[in-house]
Amino acid sequence: MGYPLLAAQAPFLLDMETTASTNSLVRELAPLPSYSTVITTKQTAGRGRLGREWLSEPNDSVALSIVVPFQQNNLELTPLLMGVAVLRAVRAIGVTQAELKWPNDILVGKRKIAGILCEIVPCGQIIAGVGLNLRFRDKPPTDQATSLAEHITFEPEIPDRWASACLTELRLLIDAGSHRATSEVRQNLATINRRIEVVDFDGQSWLGRAEDIDAGGRLIVSRSGGEKVVLSSGDVRHLYQ
């Protein structure tokens, strides 16, 4: 799979035949010029948040990692900026019903089509990584997963169009500055104004309503009893009734 559109935009592009994790590879190579990019469709040890895994059979998903300059944005906001960038890129290739769920999932209906993992490296650069499901030739990695091929006709040039749109959109958001970017997140985050279930680190869950995000991308939730809670990380589920 070639990436001519992405190559025209990235200051440095590594198109790997295979690698364990594109985020880990960037970590090894850093520091790199801002917006340097690593991409592969054969990631063998993809990482999720909190020690979880991003699973994919070879060529069933595309893994992309972009180097983000630290000084222009804070680490907390970067996953959401990447979320908006990935959301716009997924919609631009035709999956118009895609939604962004706090803090880092792109959903189509109730299923996850893409996941985001942002990390900081000791030299101070941020790595914004995303995995996007293209199609499942055997079976989905989890029953909560969906892929592009379930929503649009999959064409070989789609990963290039999607990846270059991610890079363009991410740059635009970062260049807009954190005030404007936070408002873009607010407008694109499907979690806001929704009833949600929050799953704590100990596995306990509770119900509430997502009210807003703050300047650091934290989610402001009203618990059913009226108490306000500010979440800086964790997992939420959208409730549909």
List contacts with ligand BT5 (CB under 6 A).
21-23, 43, 46-50, 52-56, 61, 63, 65, 104, 112, 115-117, 129-131, 133, 141-142, 145
CB-wise, 135 or 176, nearer to ligand BT5? 135
- Nearest distance from C-beta of residue 225 to ligand BT5, angstroms: 28
CB-wise, 93 or 134, nearer to ligand BT5? 134
CB-wise, 131 or 208, nearer to ligand BT5? 131
CB-wise, 55 or 120, nearer to ligand BT5? 55
Residue 20 CB burial class (10 angstroms; 0-12, 13-18, ≥19) = middle
52 close to 21: Cβ distance less than 8 angstroms: no
- Nearest distance from C-beta of residue 130 to ligand BT5, angstroms: 6
Among all residues, whose Cβ is closest to ligand BT5? Answer: 115
What is the spatial order of strands in the sheet that 111-120 belongs to? Answer: 13-15, 37-40, 61-68, 126-133, 111-120, 105-108, 98-101
Q: What's the maximum distance between 2 C-alpha atoms anywhere in the chain? A: 53
CB-wise, 42 or 161, nearer to ligand BT5? 42
Give the number of other CB atoms < 10 A from CB of residue 201: 9
103 close to 76: Cβ distance less than 8 angstroms: no
How far apart, in whole angstroms, are the C-alpha atoms of residue 127 and residue 117?
8
- Nearest distance from C-beta of residue 179 to ligand BT5, angstroms: 27
Closest CA relative to residue 190, chosen from 98, 94, 72? 98
- Nearest distance from C-beta of residue 58 to ligand BT5, angstroms: 12
What Cα–Cα distance (Å) separates residue 149 from each residue in 96, 114, 141? Answer: 14, 13, 15
CB-wise, 48 or 216, nearer to ligand BT5? 48
- Nearest distance from C-beta of residue 55 to ligand BT5, angstroms: 4
CB-wise, 52 or 186, nearer to ligand BT5? 52
Locate all alpha helices (DSSP H) within the chain, ordered by sequence: 4-9, 22-29, 78-92, 158-175, 178-188
- Nearest distance from C-beta of residue 13 to ligand BT5, angstroms: 15
Task: List % helix, strand, coil for the chain (3-state, nearest 5).
Answer: 25, 30, 40
- Nearest distance from C-beta of residue 180 to ligand BT5, angstroms: 26
